[in-house]
Amino acid sequence: DLPPIDGDFYQLDLKLSEEQRELQLKVRNFMEDEVRPLVNDHWNRAKFPFEIIEKFKKLNITGVPYEGYGCPNLPFLMEGIIAQEIARVDVSISTFFGVHSGLAMGSIYLCGSEEQKEEWLPKMQRLETIGAFGLTEPNVGSGAAGGLETTCRWDGEHWVLNGQKKWIGNATFADVIIIWARDEDSNQVKGFLVKKDNPGFKAEKMEDKMALRIVQNALITLNDCKVPESDRLQKAESFRDTAKVLKMTRAGVAWQAVGCARGAYESALKYTKKREQFGRPIASYQLIQNHLVEMIANLTSMQTLCFRLSELQDQGLLKDEHASLAKVYTSMRMRDVVSRAREVMGGNGILLEYDVARFVADAEAIYSYEGTKEINSLIVGRAITGYSAFVN
């Protein structure tokens, strides 16, 4: 008998309690049974499978680490494990989920008033209301901390928002979009809960993406978009508060990278055991085994790092540089794993039906979003040297 296909080489799953392991398997089975059959076709057509939202509701895994408001209040480790399980099957679905549960709900959880949390979080937890997170702009990506061009202005009755946001996941159908804008008076960044039916809000689907094709990214235009003071995130005073959200979600993205690498590794390993050339399975050849060993070594180092990252988060010790280091390291290793997975599959490595091609493409989005390699490296570099090298 051949050994099982399993991307958990150091048995890190044994660190989970029985209930945690049960939840992990529940998510894995859901992803295998309900999501895997849909994803290649939807990815190909750049369509979002809306029917899975109903099914996701039953899993009760939204807002996992938050306390109150109907959220499960499980350790951050479980949020990471769940991100890994979802991304192991499809990175787009894990991005949809991360944007809603992490970026949008997290902004309200960390920066909202008690009333705002009561109003939004329970229905978002139940996935009755879907969220998006709008920070990036056509001219401002990495430099969002200092240079947002989208502005807000108090006209005596409302906040008036003007500008554009680019790449905003879920925003073509989300009910509420967190918009980050620079106050024309104080120059500080503020956050707003913008509802999709606001007359000054327009979201247009971005077409022709070569990664995460299932995710519905939008170009948002805010044209004198009026928002009441009650929909301004009351605890978002400056970009420092936005950064608190990003610190939390970057840890989730590191786990997503693990899931993406694991999915590709497991598909590739299975393939190499079945595929025969020169009369033997290609897995029996030394050069193929070298690729597989490099892949499992990368994957294992990513997983162990992320376990510790989540422990730091659960102990309240997580710093920006911890999350950034994990994001940089896992996204680099992920790229290596998916490209080796694609390589050992020969021509089939570029066919959608074998899954790995999708992971190769989607890895490129993980590599760039939630802070590029350079930006997260600069955050770590600043922490370890004491010098900020963001600008010359």
Residue 369 touching ligand FAD (CB under 6 A): yes
Distance CA 297, CA 303 (A): 10
CB atoms under 10 Å from CB of 287, counted, come to: 8
Could you write out the DSSP letters of every residue in 286-324?
A: HHHHHHHHHHHHHHHHHHHHHHHHHHHHHTT---HHHHH
CB of 298 closer than 8 Å to CB of 337: yes
Distance of CA 281 to the CA centre of its chain: 36
**Does 390 participate in binding ligand FAD (rule CB under 6 A)?**
yes
Closest CA to 131 of 173, 160, 163: 173
How many residues appear in the chain? 392
Q: Which is nearer to ligand FAD, 89 or 269 (CB)?
A: 89
Closer to ligand FAD by CB, 182 or 291: give it.
182
* Closest residue to ligand FAD, based on beta-carbon distance: 141
**Does residue number 307 form part of the binding site for ligand FAD (CB under 6 A)?**
no
Task: Say which amino acid occupies 147.
Answer: G
Q: Is 99 in the site for ligand FAD (CB under 6 A)?
A: yes
Return the number of the residue (266 or 320) whose C-beta is nearest ligand FAD.
320
Amino acid at 320: D
CB of 74 or CB of 212, closer to ligand FAD: 212
Piece of the chain touching ligand FAD by CB under 6 A; list 110-118, 265-273, 300-308, 361-369: 361-369
Closest approach, Cβ 390 to ligand FAD, in A, equals 5
**Residues 190-229 vs ligand FAD: string with x where CB under 6 A?**
---------------------xx----x------------
Residue 356 CB, nearest approach to ligand FAD (Å) = 19
Amino acid letter for position 157: E
Taking CB under 6 A as the criterion, the residue among 56, 69, 109, 133 binding ligand FAD is 133
CB of 340 to ligand FAD, least distance (A): 23
Residue 144 CB, nearest approach to ligand FAD (Å)? 7
Taking residue 155's Cβ as centre, other Cβ atoms within 10 Å add up to 9
Q: Which of 62, 84, 101, 136 is close enough to bind ligand FAD by CB under 6 A?
A: 136
Q: Report the residue number, 135 or 181, with the smaller CB distance to ligand FAD.
A: 135
Q: Does 234 bind ligand FAD (CB under 6 A)?
A: no
Nearer to ligand FAD, 70 or 381 (CB): 381
Q: Rounded CA gap, 204 and 223, in Å?
A: 14
Q: Which residues of 306-334 are buried (b: 16+ CB within 10 A; e: fewer)?
A: bbebbebbbeeebebbbbbbbbbbbbebb
Q: Tell which one of 49, 102, 131, 169 touches ligand FAD (CB under 6 A).
A: 169
Give dist(CA 122, CA 60) in Å, integer. Answer: 12
Cβ atoms of 242 and 320 closer than 8 Å: no
Q: Is the dihedral angle over the CA atoms 207, 213, 216, 220 positive or is it negative? A: negative
Total binding residues toward ligand FAD, as defined by CB under 6 A: 22
What does the longest C-alpha to C-alpha distance in the chain come to? Answer: 79
Q: CB of 282: closest distance to ligand FAD in angstroms?
A: 33
Residue from 223, 350, 374, 388 in contact with ligand FAD (CB under 6 A): 374
In the complex, which residues of this chain contact ligand FAD (CB under 6 A)?
99, 133-136, 141-142, 167-169, 211-212, 217, 365, 368-372, 374-375, 390
